[in-house]
Amino acid sequence: MNRESNFMPTPDQDVLEVKPLRTLAPMFPAPLGVDVLNRSTVPPLVFVAPAGQFPGVFGSLNIPAVRSFAAFGGQDASGGKTASGGVQDASGGKTAAGGDQDAGRGETAAFGGQETGRAESVANGTPNVGASATGPIDATPISACKSTQPSVISLDDDDNDDEPYSGNQTSASGRKIKRPSHLSGYNMSDGLGADSSNGTKKRPKSSNRKAATDNEISLMPPSSDPREVVEVLLMTFEALRRRHLQLDETQETSKRADLKAGAIMLASNLRANIGKRIGAVPGVEVGDIFYFRMELCIIGLHAPSMGGIDYMNKFGDEDDSVAICIVAAGVYENDDDDTDTLVYSGSGGISRNSEEKQDQKLERGNLALERSLFRKNVIRVVRGYKDPACLTGKVYIYDGLYKIHESWKERTKTGINCFKYKLQREPGQPDAVAIWKMCQRWVENPAARGKVLHPDLSSGAENLPVCLINDVNSEKGPGHFNYITQVKYLKPLRSMKPFQGCRCTSVCLPGDTSCDCAQHNGGDLPYSSSGLLVCRKLMVYECGESCRCSINCRNRVAQKGVRIHLEVFRTTNRGWGLRSWDPIRAGSFICEYVGEVVDDTKVNLDGENDYLFRTVCPGEKTLKWNYGPELIGEHSINISADTFEPLPIKISARKMGNVARFMNHSCNPNTFWQPVQFDHGEDGYPHIMFFALKHIPPMTELTYDYGDIGSESRGVGSTRAKNCLCGSSRTIYTSSLLIRSPG
């Protein structure tokens, strides 16, 4: 076939540099045609194999990239059709979830790909590619072609072998990708620790990439706690999402940061509870809240990233589909008045064309729900509600296990026949949705809250009232103190070093290299457009009075004070505590630690002071709150306990303070403190601001890690030690400052 060509281009013609397919860099399957590594908007290149069985690479079902792409698109673990194909969710719409709308029509896979055939799949979820000459043509990602440079990261974990792998991996662009050190010791498949005696994890044969041997990352001790694995994964996902959003804003692009973060984690096998199961999911607790559907996917709670019904095609040894999880998010006409009963609408019948109407069909997810009525198996239920802090966002609440007790068919307001399923919540489970609705009633009418000792502990000093509650005993309140909202420094602010502000007009903008405040923060604004802290820093610099930007600048967050509904309540064994009526998103500002700044002499005179804050080294979880920068080719900015340097500031809230004085210690905290500057330039004496470490459900006590302060406290006269009463499985020996006194 090789023949010489006599073609000569004319001066107005260009010769294209044509390369064979094997030289093209394979790409991870990414949402909406986005290359998560190269940030390309060009859809992934695919090759289409003719129908029928072919020998060699096209006929083999052991192509790792084919399995990876199928799993990424929501393929059912037990085979069959795609998990989201035809499965409609109460969160309907045209795009994936997490503040935006979810799936529209049910014909597409989880990320917009076509449904992978109608034939049954093998047990590991691999589609029967080309099994029938009359079947549809299958589109296979270009990464299925054998390639040595660069290598492909698989998305599944089947076909385990004894081949160990290191933390370094190669991206589609040839860039080395590290597995973050805070994740490398975890077994993501079932929440357990590393699966070999020497602590190195094993990579399945399904990956074509060659493990890198240089730049090894240190492994942390493996975790045997599934809850800890799930929390680390969610923390990493949310941090990656915030970082991608920050980068997109700088580049003035509008992309789905949640889908990009999810694609990176799935491509790197950073997920938990792989494989579908009936019943509870290890590491996930009733009442947990989520802000993106992709979060449900990476922890194994609900596999489809868009479909509302998750099901499996086997029940025991029988080939019978049963539903295992549903997401009810309000698009369909679901009855949501009763917190223990849910009337769920089936999938299908909604078209992008409002004039086109069709009845729902008893297939796929609808059929699985019908079979679950007969099988009487439990089904996980996730309910979605509007996010109080975001007009277009949603909050997803895991409400526990339900069973279907009844099903019927009825005509909806749009004129189509719709399947209805009545689910009843299993008894003996903690409240979840019931607490959510109760708190929403209190937010609308604070007088509805019972056991109130004082309607506003701040006496109007805070932006929102702070209720004082005691439903434990007859104590009338904490000891007397003066409620203040600003720190009392040792000297007036005007005599302190001034803060060098920016000269931005109107507001500070992402990517503006002339903004001095952005340069103080390393070149990026520290907060997202919704006010979430992107990552933990040695110091965060907000715009202040010396800046020319307006009060509406996005770089003015913590200085504006409390913006959530808080209550001080009596605990059973830890004195008084603090909790919120609102759901709190990871990275959200909560409150400032307010009191009077004291010097070492004052500390010695006070002796035992249960309300003294010091910037001692917090726990490992707080230090590693930042995103896994190795996943996107950036350098790690985590601070270790060996390199942590405390600040000289010490704040006493014994005589005067705010709600932060009631925050108790936990070895597994849900908040952390962050130094922030905005009104003066002496970095040794910043404001101490608290932010959410993870998503916090309503009525959950707010805690932070007091750190290892035993040795330092002894040096200033505080020698008495107490046991930690936080109740966490990670409880360690702590000093006297770990428990607030009742008064």
DSSP result, 541-593:
E---TTS-S-TT-TT--GGG---S-EEEEE-SSSSEEEEESS-B-TT-EEEE-
Same domain, 490 and 608: yes
Q: How far is CA 661 from the centre of its chain?
A: 28
Residue 377 lies in a domain: yes
The CATH number of whichever domain residue 665 belongs to comes to: 2.170.270.10
**Letter for the amino acid at 68?**
S
Same domain, 381 and 290: yes
Is the Cβ–Cβ distance between 67 and 158 less than 8 Å? yes
Is the Cβ–Cβ distance between 542 and 531 less than 8 Å? no
Mean pLDDT computed over 423-448: 96
Task: Please say if the pLDDT value at position 666 is more than 80.
Answer: yes
Three-class secondary structure of residue 436 per DSSP:
helix
Q: What angle do CA 603, 605, 606 make, to 5 degrees?
A: 65
Using CA atoms in the order 64, 66, 67, 71, what is the torsion angle rounded to 10 degrees? 130
Task: Please say if the pLDDT value at position 107 is more than 60.
Answer: no
The CATH number of whichever domain residue 393 belongs to comes to: 2.30.280.10
Is the Cβ–Cβ distance between 612 and 656 less than 8 Å? no
User: Which of these, 94, 136, 101, 96, lies nearest to 115 by C-alpha position?
Assistant: 136
Name the band, by pLDDT with cuts 50, 70 and 90, for residue 111: very low
User: Which of these, 661, 646, 643, 662, lies nearest to 713 by C-alpha position?
Assistant: 646
Tell me the pLDDT tens digit for each residue of 179-225: 555 554 444 444 333 333 333 333 333 333 333 333 223 323 356 78
Name the band, by pLDDT with cuts 50, 70 and 90, for residue 552: very high
Mean pLDDT computed over 300-304: 95
Same domain, 573 and 606: yes
Same domain, 344 and 281: yes
Residue 127 lies in a domain: no
Residue 662 lies in a domain: yes
Is the Cβ–Cβ distance between 600 and 716 less than 8 Å? yes
Mean pLDDT computed over 721-730: 62
Which DSSP category does 22 fall into? G
Distance CA 395, CA 382 (A): 10
558: tokens are 């913590």
Is the Cβ–Cβ distance between 742 and 478 less than 8 Å? yes
Tell me the pLDDT tens digit for each residue of 600-648: 776 765 555 789 999 988 888 888 887 677 788 887 766 777 888 899 9
Mean pLDDT computed over 332-350: 78
Q: How far is CA 512 from the centre of its chain?
A: 28
Task: Please say if the pLDDT value at position 156 is more than 70.
Answer: no
- pLDDT at residue 317, rounded to an integer: 83
- pLDDT at residue 624, rounded to an integer: 81
Residue 611: phi and psi, rounded to 5, are -120, 30
Distance CA 641, CA 382 (A): 38
Of the residues 444, 460, 479, the one at which a domain ends: 444
Residue 647: Cβ-neighbour burial (10 angstroms; 0-12, 13-18, 19+): middle
Tell me the pLDDT tens digit for each residue of 467-512: 999 999 999 999 999 999 999 999 888 889 999 999 998 999 998 9
Same domain, 457 and 415: no
Mean pLDDT computed over 101-126: 37
Mean pLDDT computed over 431-445: 95
Residue 14 lies in a domain: no
Three-class secondary structure of residue 351 per DSSP:
coil
Contacts of 720 (CB under 8 A, 6+ apart): 608, 736
Distance CA 538, CA 5 (A): 64
Tell me the pLDDT tens digit for each residue of 13-45: 555 555 555 445 554 444 443 444 444 444 444
- pLDDT at residue 643, rounded to an integer: 82
Of the residues 414, 444, 474, the one at which a domain ends: 444
Instruction: Compute the 3-state secondary structure of the chain and give helix, strand, coil in percent, each to the nearest 5.
Output: 15, 20, 65
Same domain, 430 and 479: no
Instruction: Count the neighbouring beta carbons within 10 Å of the beta carbon of residue 518.
Output: 24
Residue 153 lies in a domain: no
Residue 218 lies in a domain: no
Instruction: State the pTM of this model.
Output: 0.71
205: tokens are 């044969």
Same domain, 395 and 467: no
Task: Please say if the pLDDT value at position 87 is more than 90.
Answer: no
Contacts of 197 (CB under 8 A, 6+ apart): none
Task: Please say if the pLDDT value at position 720 is more than 60.
Answer: no
Residue 439 lies in a domain: yes
Same domain, 339 and 460: no
- pLDDT at residue 354, rounded to an integer: 57
Q: Work out how many domains the chain is built from and give that number.
A: 2
Distance CA 98, CA 354 (A): 24
Tell me the pLDDT tens digit for each residue of 56-84: 433 333 433 333 333 333 334 344 443 33
Same domain, 301 and 432: yes
Is the Cβ–Cβ distance between 308 and 325 less than 8 Å? no
114 or 439, which is more confident? 439
Note the maximum CA span of the chain. 99
Task: Please say if the pLDDT value at position 146 is more than 80.
Answer: no
Instruction: Count the neighbouring beta carbons within 10 Å of the beta carbon of residue 123.
Output: 11
Task: Please say if the pLDDT value at position 537 is more than 70.
Answer: yes
364 or 126, which is more confident? 364
> Token pair 């709600």 is at which residue?
659
What is the pLDDT of the chain when averaged over all its residues?
Answer: 74
Domain housing 471 = 450-496+558-704
Same domain, 342 and 408: yes
- pLDDT at residue 336, rounded to an integer: 59
Q: How many CA atoms lie within 13 A of 62 on its CB side?
A: 7
Tell me the pLDDT tens digit for each residue of 228-253: 999 999 999 999 999 999 988 888 77
Residue 47 lies in a domain: no
User: Which of these, 537, 523, 709, lies nearest to 638 by C-alpha position?
Assistant: 537
- pLDDT at residue 157, rounded to an integer: 33
- pLDDT at residue 254, rounded to an integer: 74
Residue 487: Cβ-neighbour burial (10 angstroms; 0-12, 13-18, 19+): buried
Using CA atoms in the order 467, 722, 484, 676, what is the torsion angle rounded to 10 degrees? -110
Same domain, 401 and 492: no
Name the band, by pLDDT with cuts 50, 70 and 90, for residue 52: very low
Task: Please say if the pLDDT value at position 281 is more than 90.
Answer: yes
User: Which of these, 566, 72, 530, lies nearest to 291 by C-alpha position?
Assistant: 530
Using CA atoms in the order 347, 352, 358, 359, what is the torsion angle rounded to 10 degrees? 20
Contacts of 232 (CB under 8 A, 6+ apart): 182, 183, 186, 223
Of the residues 424, 444, 464, the one at which a domain ends: 444
Mean pLDDT computed over 373-395: 93
Beta partners for 616? none
Same domain, 279 and 382: yes
User: Computed from CA positions of residues 364, 370, 371, 377, in that sequence, does the dihedral angle turn out positive or negative?
Assistant: positive
Name the band, by pLDDT with cuts 50, 70 and 90, for residue 355: low
Task: Please say if the pLDDT value at position 680 is more than 80.
Answer: yes
Percent over 70 (pLDDT), the chain: 62
